Amino acid sequence: GAGVSQSPSNKVTEKGKDVELRCDPISGHTALYWYRQRLGQGLEFLIYFQGNSAPDKSGLPSDRFSAERTGESVSTLTIQRTQQEDSAVYLCASSLGIEAVQPQHFGDGTRLSIL
């Protein structure tokens, strides 16, 4: 595909359930980022992956959040025991590398609603 692909586009679940969100980066992009966008707020950094290096998890808000990436392909973001404050749009971005000059390109996000 030409761009970053995320699935599902929408997810509604009950409080306390686990959810898994998926991101397919642009082919050839080695760096992958997850952000969260709450209503009326700017994007908040969650985690990033670069190749086989250890991910930077400094933005994850709690230990209920985790993410994995297989090599330089698909990534999944998992939220366990969801809470209502987890309701947000979760955006994935990829870039050619982690060098500061490389721009990040975003998918359309997963809109998560916790009932």
Partner 1 sequence: QKEVEQDPGPLSVPEGAIVSLNCTYSNSAFQYFMWYRQYSRKGPELLMYTYSSGNKEDGRFTAQVDKSSKYISLFIRDSQPSDSATYLCAMKVRQAGTALIFGKGTTLSVSS
Q: Given the rule CB under 8 A, which residues bind partner 1?
A: 4, 6, 31, 33, 35, 40-43, 45, 48, 50, 56, 59, 91, 97-101, 103-109, 111
Query: Which residue has 């947000």 as its token pair?
Result: 88
Q: How far apart are CA 23 and CA 69, in angstroms?
A: 9
Beta 10-13 vs 19-24: how paired, if at all?
unpaired
- Closer to partner 1 by CB, 31 or 114: give it: 31
Measured distance CA(97)–CA(32) in Å, rounded:
9
Nearer to partner 1, 14 or 52 (CB): 52
Q: Which is nearer to partner 1, 17 or 27 (CB)?
A: 27
